[in-house]
């Protein structure tokens, strides 16, 4: 008997490679989206700061807009986007 696989359709779930499960601002899981968004993933991406903390991009942008100083809400260091 010889078995030949012609095609294999697997099922996978995607997740962000981050050092935490939830966004520190909106407390939603990273793999979900921020409260303002409907669709996760490409439409509601994560960003990492220089301090290695990460957030939903919409959350941190909103935060930065509302603050006089551009600081990470977790560690109070100056916020810089880490473009890795």
Partner 1 sequence: MSHKKGDLKVYWNKITYAFPILNDNIFSDCTNAEYDEVQHIIVGLGVQIKIRDLVLIHIEKHLRQHVAPKFWSKFIKVNEDVRGFQLFKSAVNDLYEAVSSFSSMMCRLTILNNSCNDNKPIYGEKDVVLGFKQLVRATLLSQLPLDFQVIINHFYKISFNVFDNEYENSDMSEDIMCSGCGNEYADCNCAYIVKVFHETNRKLMDLQLLERLTGQVLTNFIQLRIESHIQKLCTGTFDVSHVGFLENWLDTTVMSWLTRIYCGGSSKPPPDDKNIQNAISKFKQKLRYFLYHSYTKLRIDQLFNIIIEYPDSQPAVDDIKFCLDKTDLRSTLCKKLQNALETRLLHSGVNTPDILTAYISTIRALRHLDPSGVILETVTKPVRNYLRNREDTVRSVVSSLTEEGAGSELAEELAKYTGEPEGDADNDEAWDEWNPDPVDADPKVDPKDRRTSDIISMLVNVYGSKELFVNEYRTLLADRLLAQSVINTEKEIRYLELLKLRFGEAQLHFCEVMLKDISDSKRINSLIHQDSSIEELNKEFVSNAMILSAQFWPPFKDENLELPDEIKRHLEAYTKSYEALKGNRTLSWKPHLGNVNIEIEIGEKKLDLTVSPFNATLIMHFQNKPQWSIEELHQVMKVPVTVLRRKITYWQTMGLIMEKGSDYFVLADETENKANVSANQVQEMICEDEETESVMASAHDQREGELQVFWSYIVGMLTNLDSLPLDRIHQMLKMFASQVPGTECSLQELRQFLDTKVRTHQLVLQGGLYKLPKTIGLR
Q: Which of 19, 27, 42, 69 binds partner 1 (CB under 8 A)?
A: 42
Print the binding letters for residues 6-35 with partner 1: x by CB under 8 A, - otherwise: xxxxxxxxxxxxx----------x-xx---
Q: CA dihedral in degrees (28, 26, 65, 67; nearest 10)?
A: -140
- 3-state secondary structure string, 36-61? CCCCCHHHCCEEEECCCCEEEHHHHH
Longest Cα–Cα distance in the chain? 72
Shortest Å distance, C-beta 28 to partner 1: 9
Counting contacts by CB under 8 A, is residue 38 touching partner 1? yes
- 23, 26, 34, 46: which one contacts partner 1 (CB under 8 A)? 46
């Amino acid at each position: 008997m010889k078995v030949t696989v012609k095609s294999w359709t697997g099922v996978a779930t995607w997740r962000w490679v981050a050092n935490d499960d939830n966004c520190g601002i909106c407390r939603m899981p990273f793999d979900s989206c921020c409260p303002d968004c409907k669709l996760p993933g490409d439409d509601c991406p994560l960003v990492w700061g220089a301090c290695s903390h990460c957030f939903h991009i919409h959350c941190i942008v909103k935060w930065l807009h509302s603050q006089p100083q551009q600081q990470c809400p977790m560690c109070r260091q100056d916020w810089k986007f880490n473009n890795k």
